Amino acid sequence: MKKIKDLSASERPREKLLAKGPKFLADWELLAVILGRGTQKNDVLALSKKIVKVIDEKGLDFIAEDILHIDGIGNAKAASISASLEFVRRRIKPEGHKIEFPADIFPLIRHYGDRKQEHFLCASVNGANEVMNVRVVTIGLVNKSQVHPREVFADVIAERASAVIVAHNHPHGALQPSNEDIQVTRRLKEAAKILGLKLLDHIIFNSKGYHSFAEKGEL
């Protein structure tokens, strides 16, 4: 991976943001702008990617202490990142984001569309059709052994949600469900029913669009 010093001026996160706007930056690039600089051991870009992975896994439950174990992150940087997320969370937050159709959740997850690995996501939904939280369950190839109902529904149950929407990105762009995607969906639907939950949808997406099992009548 290139270090910040190896990039041309136009490729560097801060300069790219000022020239094109924040929407053109990946999550780790945005975080690099917030951090400002790295350390002698960790370039700011490498540091940002490590932190993004933790934030993906924690979702809205992220706190500053979650990244203090990362070499180069002390109280000041951890507090700065936590404050930045909370500032945005209070203005544009998933909690209370009401959905009429399951695919209305797409704006909350589309930033995972450009990830190089498959990220399997789970969104908790309450009885008022409001999104309570969105979190990463697994990172890597989506299959039955990795996407276990226990891992998917553990936090959903703890949050007393009534329904769930699952989703995962297809890094190579194709949105058509694989046989494995179909099997995982069936397994999760059966498990949700036993637990008294409703699986509203399984969405496969990239940065440009999505495939909704619910919209296609495949649930």
Domain-located, residue 130: yes
What phi, psi does 116 have (nearest 5°)?
A: -80, -20
Q: Are 121 and 128 in contact (CB under 8 A)?
A: no
Q: Cβ-count burial of 163 within 10 angstroms (0-12 exposed, 13-18 middle, 19+ buried)?
A: buried
Same domain, residue pair 199 and 155: yes
| Contact by Cβ (8 Å): 31, 12 | no
Shared-domain flag, residues 115 and 205:
yes
Q: How many CA atoms within 13 Å lie on the side-chain side of 54?
A: 19
Are residues 17 and 114 part of one domain? no
Q: Nearest 5 degrees, angle CA 199-CA 205-CA 209?
A: 120
Same domain, 111 and 181: yes
| Residue 142: per-residue pLDDT | 61
What is the extent of the structural domain holding 143? 97-212
65-124 pLDDT, tens digit each: 999 998 888 898 899 888 888 777 665 655 567 888 888 888 888 888 878 888 899 999
Query: Which among 89, 123, 155 is the end of a domain?
Result: 89
Residue after which a domain boundary falls, among 32, 59, 89: 89
- Count of alpha carbons within 13 angstroms of residue 120, beta-carbon side: 22
183 lies in the same domain as 121: yes
Examine the domain organization and report whether 77 and 108 are in the same domain: no
| Count of CA atoms in the C-beta half-sphere (13 A) of 55 | 17
Residue ranges in the chain modelled with pLDDT below 70: 1-2, 60, 89-96, 141-145, 173
Dihedral angle at the C-alpha atoms of 84, 54, 202, 155, nearest 10 degrees? -90
103 and 81 within one domain: no
Residues 145 and 197 in one domain: yes
The answer on 148 and 48 residing in a single domain is: no
**Domain match, 112 and 30 both:** no
- The domain boundary, picked from 89, 116, 148, lies at 89
Q: Are residues 27 and 72 in the same domain?
A: yes
- Determine, yes or no, domain membership for 219: no
Strands (E), 4-118: 97-98
| CATH number of the structural domain spanning residue 151 | 3.40.140.10
Global pTM exceeds 0.85: no
Domain count of the fold of the chain: 2
* Assigned domain for 62 exists: yes
Report how far residue 37's alpha carbon sits from residue 22's, in angstroms, rounded to the nearest whole number. 18
What is the reported pLDDT for 60? 67
Question: Residue 51 domain-assigned?
Answer: yes
